Amino acid sequence: MREFRITIDKDEFVVRVEKLRHGVYRVELNGKQAVVSIEEIAEKISAQVSPVVTGLAEKPEKLEKEPGGIYAMLPGTVVKIFVNEGDNVNAGDPILVLEAMKMENEITSPKSGVVRKLNVRKGEKVETGDLLAIIE
């Protein structure tokens, strides 16, 4: 479980986040817990606080989404790559492994197609919202 301390207008909040499965997290705010999905977090944050904080749960708006793009959902390090540019992949095939918070997260292809672009290398650090690959 990761812990964050946030101060808003002199009020301090302790936020703890634990990943339960892909896209689903247990979030604790000053002792109160809820299980939410990434989409729910983004909706709740955007409804209650500034757009700057919303970027924690979403790909930054300043980047235009690439059709067929696969984006990092959290910061980490690329530890394995299973494909090369030009490879054919099926939906669900592994593309790469991203290590984050001492856990390996397998990133899979959301659709069948061809790897048009592989935007990372083994050992590279990525941030939330970074483009990892493009599948056409």
Q: What is the DSSP string of 57-126?
A: TS--TTSPPPTTEEE-SS-EEEEEE---TT-EE-TT-EEEEEEETTEEEEEE-SSSEEEEEE---TT-EE
Q: What's the rounded Cα separation, in Å, for the pair 13 and 34?
A: 15
2 is written with which tokens?
A: 């990761």
pLDDT at residue 83 in the model: 96
Spell out the domains of the chain, with CATH numbers in brackets: 2-54 (no CATH), 69-135 (2.40.50.100)
Give pLDDT tens digits for 30-88: 778 777 676 655 555 544 443 333 333 334 443 457 788 888 888 889 999 999 999 99
Q: What's the rounded Cα separation, in Å, for the pair 17 and 120?
A: 27
Residue 113 has pLDDT above 70, yes or no: yes
pLDDT at residue 130 in the model: 87
Lowest mean pLDDT among 20-29, 40-49, 55-64, 114-123: 55-64
Highest mean pLDDT among 9-13, 25-29, 77-81: 77-81
pLDDT at residue 118 in the model: 93
